[in-house]
Amino acid sequence: MQQLVKPKQPGMARSMRPAWAEVRLDHLAHNIRRIRKRVGRDIRIMAVVKANAYGHGSVEVAKVLLEQGADRLAVALVDEGVELRRAGIEAPVLVLGMFGREEADVIVRYGLTPMVCTTEGLRDLQRVARKFHKTVRFHLRVDPGMGSVGIPMEECKRFLHEAGKYPDLFPEGLFTHLPSAYGGTREEVEEDLRHFNGMLAELTAAGLRPPLVHAASSPGILNFPASYFDMVRPGIMLYGLPVYEGCADPELKPVMRLKSRIVYQKDVRAGTKLGYGNRWHAERNLKLATVPIGYGDGLFLFFMEGGEVLIHGQKAPIFGQVYMDHFMIDVTEIAGTAVGDEVVLIGRQGESRITSAEVADRSGIGGMHCDCVHLLSSRIPRVYIGKLDESFRDGGLS
Ligand SMILES: *Cc1c(COP(=O)(O)O)cnc(C)c1O
């Protein structure tokens, strides 16, 4: 997985492009420490850094999270795990998604921990484990009714019994994703947990319970301590974003700000036609400024038409449509704007703020998903800021 632009180390962006995503490592550290406080010392934390750490840059984010209290990492794809290993990260990395037969070799070679839920998966891993003379740890995924990957609850015992026959495989973990925690009722979640606990009791009685049982992603961590088991898997909350409207920890801090600068500004006389196909015209004398970021940097930006950005701590309306590489803002009412002035598309500027959730809503991807920053393309350089001072380096619970 190659990135077009990748800062070599925090704070050093190679690109000088006047459009960038600022990633605050001190906020990230704050968030993982807050999760640690919430779950306590005895529960392990597996930080989910899939999809380039939800757009924040997986390698840089993973390093800070591990240093600040995460015990392990999780990704969705084998490629994402390989990227972490190539960057020198040695912590256990669980691949949450299905792996293809061709990928078994890579999993074992890079010491990744696969999710398994089929007999074919066991066979493929056993073959490669033998080839490399390694014991391969895997996590079994159980599906409580999401209809997605994972074996049905009632087949767990049989499956683990079968897995025990493969000499070079070890079922280190067993996990489920609690779909009911994403906006379902408390009763629905409790019902799912009851089933899950019943199944675990059976496994324990049969001596088949894997050492690491995990179920809670962000909403479970926020609302259901009974879902913690041995380990939790925070994703979206690490980045200081709400899981969905009304499901957030207000103490968490947004990690990313999307910024740009005015690169051009001009006065436009009333009556001037503007835009492709002369779709717009100036109804009065206007001062328009060009912001050099567009839907080529993340399709959701296309839907910013009619939206706002922050400049000089005030909201300025987007004028006309968003193009692939730029858009215009109407700064007629904002005194003293000039080329070079900073523009904030997502985040705080002065006393004003535009959240990722607001932009997601505007783009039509709100509701179940309050974030859109994971959709930023690799064309936007990620710039890492926020020094981790001594108080952030003890990694403890202070
Ligand atoms: C993405 C994912 C997570 C993290 O979910 P969030 O809602 O972002 O906290 C946890 N577990 C699995 C299996 C996932 O796919």
Of the listed 8, 165, 276, 387, which one is catalytic? 276
Ligand 1 centre distance from Cα of residue 46 (Å)? 10
Burial of residue 210 (number of CB atoms within 10 Å: 0-12, 13-18, 19+): buried
Q: What Rg value do the Cα atoms of the chain yield, rounded?
A: 24
Q: What is the pTM of this model?
A: 0.92
Note the pLDDT of residue 393: 46
Q: Please check whether residue 258 is in contact with residue 347, taking contact to mean a CB–CB distance below 8 angstroms.
A: yes
Convert the pLDDT of each residue in 88-138 to its tens digit.
Answer: 999 999 999 999 999 999 999 999 999 999 999 999 999 999 999 999 999
Q: Which ligand 1 atom minimizes the distance to the CA of 243? A: 7
Which residues are paired to 142 by β-bridges?
Answer: 151, 176
Q: Which residues line ligand 1 (CB under 6 A)?
A: 48, 50, 96, 177, 217-218, 233-237, 243
Tokens of 295: 């839907």
Q: Where do we find the tokens 């701590």?
A: 313
SS3 state at 127:
helix
SS3 state at 390:
helix
DSSP notation for 194-259: HHHHHHHHHHHHTT---SEEEEE-HHHHHH-GGG-TTEE---GGGGT--SBTTB--TTS---EEEE
Report the C-alpha gap between 202 and 160 in whole angstroms.
Answer: 12
Ligand 1 centre distance from Cα of residue 211 (Å)? 20
Q: What are phi and psi of 298, to 5 degrees?
A: 150, 115
Identify the H or E element spanning 335.
none
Note the pLDDT of residue 351: 95
Which residue's CA is minimally distant from atom 7 of ligand 1?
218
- Using most ligand atoms within 8 A of CB, pick from 34, 38, 48 the residue to mutate for ligand 1: 48
* Pure H helices in 40-145: 50-54, 58-67, 78-86, 104-109, 119-132
Determine whether 50 is an active site residue: yes
Q: Which ligand 1 atom minimizes the distance to the CA of 218? A: 9
Note the pLDDT of residue 89: 98
Q: What are phi and psi of 362, to 5 degrees?
A: -60, -35
Tokens of 342: 């900073």
Strand-strand pairing, 72-75 and 44-48:
parallel
Which residues are paired to 297 by β-bridges?
Answer: none
Report the C-alpha gap between 221 and 225 in whole angstroms.
Answer: 6
Identity at 71, one-letter amino acid code: D
Report the C-alpha gap between 117 and 51 in whole angstroms.
Answer: 22
Give the residue ranges of the chain where pLDDT is below 50: 1-7, 13, 392-398
Closest to 326 (Cα-Cα) out of 345, 348, 347, 349:
345
Report the C-alpha gap between 109 and 127 in whole angstroms.
Answer: 13
SS3 state at 153:
helix
Q: Please check whether residue 244 is in contact with residue 182, taking contact to mean a CB–CB distance below 8 angstroms.
A: yes
Report the C-alpha gap between 341 and 172 in whole angstroms.
Answer: 53
Note the pLDDT of residue 395: 43
Determine whether 264 is an active site residue: no
Identity at 85, one-letter amino acid code: R
Ligand 1 centre distance from Cα of residue 387 (Å)? 28
Ligand 1 centre distance from Cα of residue 233 (Å)? 6
